[in-house]
Structure 1
Amino acid sequence: MSKRSVSPDLSGGPERKKRVQISDTVEVRVIEDRPSVQAEVSNGKHLEFDDLESNKEDEFITSKNRKTAPVADTPSDLYLETVDRRRLDFDFEKLCSVSLSNVNVYACLVCGKYFQGRGRSSYAYFHSVDEDHHVFVNLQSLKVYVLPESYEVKSTTLDDIKYVINPTFDKKTVASLDRKPIESLDLNYKPYRPGFVGMNNIKHNDYFNVIIQSLAHVSPLRNFLMLESFEGKAELVQRFSILVRKLWNAKAFRGHVSPHELLQHVSALSKKRFLITEQADPFDFLNWFLNNLHLALGGSRTRTRSSFIQMIFQGKVRSESQKITAHADAGDRLRFEADTQIQRTEMPFMFLSLDLPPAPLFQDDVGKNIIPQVSLQTVLSKYDGSTTQELAGDRKRYKIIEIPPYLIFHIKRITKTNLLDEINHTVVTFQPNALDMSPYVEGATEPIIYDLVANVTHETITTPQGEERHAYRVQMKDKSRDEWLQIQDLYVESIRREILFLNESYIQVWERRK
């Protein structure tokens, strides 16, 4: 009886052409028309470095041979027990820790480091071999792979990690944020309140933190950033949207957020005007940030209310000015004269600046400066249309003719000089509810009620080296509980509404009552 032997079928499927040769010993051998996958790899055809300038998924197997890759034969949950969620932090800039490139970046789910690519010559591949770390996630597509085998993981056990990288919300959830109290637990089972979490002060970026926290509680802006897709939009809008969604994430791994990713982009976009390592003025940053958001959302430099930002914050004020002549009465220089021409202009605004009375020069009995108090209505009288002030040889008065849904007040207490900052410590007293703006709006016949949303406060502190520096914190209202919380960097604490005014208010955000 003749001996028959069959060599293994390396064709990989019936679609390949084969030539069968039968020898005298009835031995069947398969001869390929082209080299096998193993031969191609040994010839070095697919071992070149990945195309790192492309966002395409990099693989060392060609698309024609991908059908023969043994994905189905590999268990999809291999190495998943090595994933360490406590070491993962997705708030930082998405840059490869070796090449510092932001193209095609993967995060190691074992140690949390970022690497570029996943092909056989990539940094992620070398990391998987050298450190025995095998599970990686693409930070853009959110696909999870096991290296060095380079197969995709389909397990749903990693969905919580994908959600932390890019939190998403539906309309129903967003609509309930201000009505339904939410309290979550982090990985250490420590409770935190979504929307009211601390932000890292990496160096001197507290000026940045208080503004981002305040804007994240302007409901229309917050809902817009949570629900809209900004794919293809400006990087500033995308990063701000992700940061706001992380602030309100009820499934976070830790009860605080780092603004590093957005702050890095702001630093580059502002040409180093706003940095991590140097403290800036919160109002200067707010002014710059809102105007750049307006432009990033397609807003016009000339047309009013041409973006979502201006629809929320922009109003219009009328200014009347008159030259102060030499024969004006010295005792009544601020009185408008009927026989002198009055110039009227209408100007759009996104902020209303409020002037404080001069700080007193006298001291009390114990040798300390007397800190005066002034009501918010008193400093708002600047916009009643009759109160006059002198500025650069002109007498001026103002009246609001269009009022926006959200008002931003800038209380001018810091005056910058060449040598140092002069600070007016006058306390502005106010009630956080039911501010009536009708006395300052032209043609208003009924009350126009506003409620306080956020209050940015200023404090002067002395460092151990004896230097004075600014410290900023923000007080915000939790509408779902009707409570007030105060946040300074990572510290979150409750505060009574009756003592809000005792701090040196610097920037306030007010919401028009519907």
Structure 2
Amino acid sequence: MTQKRLLDEEIQTTQQQEHPKTKRQKQPVSIQDEEVQSLMKTINRKKLDFDSEKICSVTLSKLDIYGCLICGKYYRGCKERTPAFLHSVSDDHRLFVSFQTSRVVVLPDEIDIDLNTMHLGDVNKRLIHDIKYSVNPVYTSDIIQRSPYVCFESTQGQSYYNGIVGLNKSTSNNIAYINVVIQLLAHIGPIRDYFLLCYNKNLTNENGLIKNVALIMKKIWSPHLFKLNIGPDELISYLMVNHSNVIKANNNLDPQIFLNWLINTLCQSDKQLRKILTKACQGKLKVSTKGNKIKVVPFWNLTLILPEISMFKESKNVDDIKQIKLEKLIMEKFSMESTDNGKLYLIKENLPQYLFLYISRFNKSKNLNDSEFYVRNRNQTIVNFDERLSLPLTNDKGSKIQYKLISNIVHDPEKNLYDIEKDYTSNWKIQLPNNQTKDWVEIDNTRTTVRNFNLLFLDETCIQVWEKIVD
């Protein structure tokens, strides 16, 4: 399928989302196509940033925000005497995009740029489409099935695979643990499809958390990025205002804590999303206590306990660090000799479609507000794993239950170069498969690097997601 045909399909999808099957009201003021084409030349791609928090630069309002396509600043409203209107008059900046409806308008006349009726040429048509798509990407099932595929960002024309793009560090916090969790969830099929397809509408009155998570996931999979990296500033700002207990400025929050909080909060906020998450990601265990009472309990992730180690200095030499196979860790959790707080866990056969494994490396409190850990004294045991995982269970056909690895979050500590007495700072990376190239790619905030899968086990794995293989 050619790039032009692909673009035409996506433009048609965007227009269908923006324009229902009702006749469009006639514009009170007309504008010549030639004038619009002239205005299009004033758009400054390098100034455009659609990831920052949408706040009016004059009034600090968050309502009805428009972005100036010439200088990149945000202003409220488009009616007479609003900041956007006054900016268009005083600075002669005529083109704006609405972050609420994704329409592109000419101010002060308030005329929509309509790709259905205006003859702007292929280049301008593509630019308007990219702007609308950057503000609120829309998808079809066909686009998702083809992803990831080679795309080109608008500013410099660099190539990338949609879905495999970096996330910037927040301008206010260095919190890579949030980035890797969002990336992890964005690569779980049912969750991705829900946010990309079910939220193909203008998000105006939705739950704030779901709205921000949906938007960043849609941008991760966007084939029309303005820049190769995406900024999570809107999500971070929302969390800082409404859920400040999940923000740790020094990055020393375990991603597993944030992952569990996010999943549970999303479930409480949206019934349909709760059904999807429960069906795809929640498993059940039989738990036997000391009193031999057995009960079935749900779980979002299985915590695997590493063998205890004696305290030793930080080392990057593999020979100095203990190693253990992932399968052994799993079996030890369910063995008759291994108990956790007086409980014995037994595998229940209906394991989830997506199995989350958490490898506990830190001595920390379970309280979200007291979850900082001593990075220097973490357990550095190396966990060996393959791309396939076979569990000692059988399905209805009598075959062993098997999983394939689809994401791997690793811990990468950073020493304090100025004060050796201070603890290390945690950095988090995520490793994902590119199903088109068959390579594994490591995303470290904005950096993406192709990795040899056979060497991934050398990193400090903390969270893995395994997808069940269906015969």
- TM-score > 0.5, shorter chain as reference: yes
> Would the aligned equivalents of 1:362 and 1:369 in 2 still touch at CA under 8 Å?
no
2:342 aligned with 1:388, yes or no? no
Q: Distance in 2 between matches of 1:488 and 1:446?
A: 38
Q: Matches of residues 275-314 of structure 1 in structure 2 within 5 Å? A: 279-298=252-271, 307-314=275-282
Q: Which is worse superposed, 460-469 or 344-353?
A: 460-469
2:420 aligned with 1:450, yes or no? no
Q: Distance in 1 between matches of 2:362 and 2:452?
A: 26
Partner of residue 144, structure 2: 174
**Which of 127, 131, 149 does residue 161 from structure 1 map onto?**
131
Partner of residue 116, structure 1: 76
Task: Please state how far the C-alpha of 1:142 moved relative to its aligned partner.
Answer: 2.2
Distance 1:239 1:67, change over 3 A: closer
Q: Which is worse superposed, 253-262 or 144-153?
A: 144-153
Q: Matches of residues 27-66 of structure 1 in structure 2 within 5 Å? A: none
Partner of residue 30, structure 2: 71
> Would the aligned equivalents of 2:361 and 2:462 in 1 still touch at CA under 8 Å?
yes
Partner of residue 347, structure 1: 297
1:149-184 alpha-carbon deviations (Å, 9 max, x no partner): 333333453222111111111111111226xx4243
Task: Please state how far the C-alpha of 1:138 moved relative to its aligned partner.
Answer: 1.5
Partner of residue 249, structure 1: 222
- Paired residue secondary structure (2:87): helix
Task: Please state how far the C-alpha of 1:361 moved relative to its aligned partner.
Answer: 4.2
Task: Please state how far the C-alpha of 1:186 moved relative to its aligned partner.
Answer: 3.9
- Paired residue secondary structure (1:414): coil
1:99-119 alpha-carbon deviations (Å, 9 max, x no partner): 221211111010111100122
Distance 1:368 1:167, change over 3 A: closer
Q: Distance in 2 between matches of 1:126 and 1:364?
A: 59
| Alignment length (residue pairs) | 420
Distance 1:249 1:72, change over 3 A: closer
Q: Which is worse superposed, 103-112 or 409-418?
A: 409-418
| Equivalent residue letter for 1:192 | Y
2:62 aligned with 1:106, yes or no? no
Partner of residue 390, structure 2: 436
| Equivalent residue letter for 1:309 | L
**Which of 433, 436, 442 does residue 480 from structure 1 map onto?**
436
Partner of residue 22, structure 2: none
Task: Please state how far the C-alpha of 1:343 moved relative to its aligned partner.
Answer: 1.5
Q: Distance in 1 between matches of 2:276 and 2:192?
A: 11
1:318-353 alpha-carbon deviations (Å, 9 max, x no partner): 11121xxxxxxxxxxxxxxxxxx4121110011100
Task: Please state how far the C-alpha of 1:226 moved relative to its aligned partner.
Answer: 1.0
> Would the aligned equivalents of 1:127 and 1:133 in 2 still touch at CA under 8 Å?
yes
> Would the aligned equivalents of 1:104 and 1:116 in 2 still touch at CA under 8 Å?
yes
2:342 aligned with 1:406, yes or no? no
Task: Please state how far the C-alpha of 1:240 moved relative to its aligned partner.
Answer: 1.5
Extract unaligned runs of 5+ from structure 1.
Answer: 1-65, 300-304, 323-340
> Would the aligned equivalents of 1:297 and 1:308 in 2 still touch at CA under 8 Å?
no
- Paired residue secondary structure (1:469): coil
> Would the aligned equivalents of 2:357 and 2:463 in 1 still touch at CA under 8 Å?
yes
1:208-236 alpha-carbon deviations (Å, 9 max, x no partner): 11111111111221122111136554222
Task: Please state how far the C-alpha of 1:278 moved relative to its aligned partner.
Answer: 5.2
Q: Distance in 2 between matches of 1:348 and 1:443?
A: 21
1:25-45 alpha-carbon deviations (Å, 9 max, x no partner): xxxxxxxxxxxxxxxxxxxxx
**Which of 83, 97, 110 does residue 57 from structure 2 map onto?**
97
**Which of 395, 411, 425 does residue 469 from structure 1 map onto?**
425
> Would the aligned equivalents of 2:402 and 2:469 in 1 still touch at CA under 8 Å?
yes
Name the TM-score, length of structure 1 as normaliser.
0.75
Partner of residue 190, structure 2: 220
Q: Distance in 2 between matches of 1:364 and 1:275?
A: 24
Task: Please state how far the C-alpha of 1:383 moved relative to its aligned partner.
Answer: 4.3
Distance 1:390 1:483, change over 3 A: closer
Name the TM-score, length of structure 2 as normaliser.
0.82
**Which of 444, 448, 460 does residue 413 from structure 2 map onto?**
460
1:411-434 alpha-carbon deviations (Å, 9 max, x no partner): 0001127895241011111112x2
Q: Distance in 2 between matches of 1:445 and 1:435?
A: 17
Q: Distance in 1 between matches of 2:185 and 2:315?
A: 43
| Equivalent residue letter for 2:386 | Q
Q: Distance in 2 between matches of 1:191 and 1:68?
A: 39
Q: Which has the higher helix share?
A: 2
2:104 aligned with 1:149, yes or no? no
| Equivalent residue letter for 2:451 | I
Bigger RCO of structures 1 and 2 (CA < 8 A, at least 6 apart): 2
Q: Distance in 1 between matches of 2:78 and 2:206?
A: 27
Partner of residue 165, structure 2: 197
1:464-485 alpha-carbon deviations (Å, 9 max, x no partner): 2234111111111111221100
> Would the aligned equivalents of 2:251 and 2:425 in 1 still touch at CA under 8 Å?
no
- Paired residue secondary structure (1:353): strand
> Would the aligned equivalents of 1:210 and 1:456 in 2 still touch at CA under 8 Å?
yes
Task: Please state how far the C-alpha of 1:367 moved relative to its aligned partner.
Answer: 12
When Rg is computed on C-alpha atoms for both structures, the one with the higher figure is 1
Partner of residue 426, structure 1: 381
Task: Please state how far the C-alpha of 1:363 moved relative to its aligned partner.
Answer: 8.0
| Equivalent residue letter for 1:402 | N
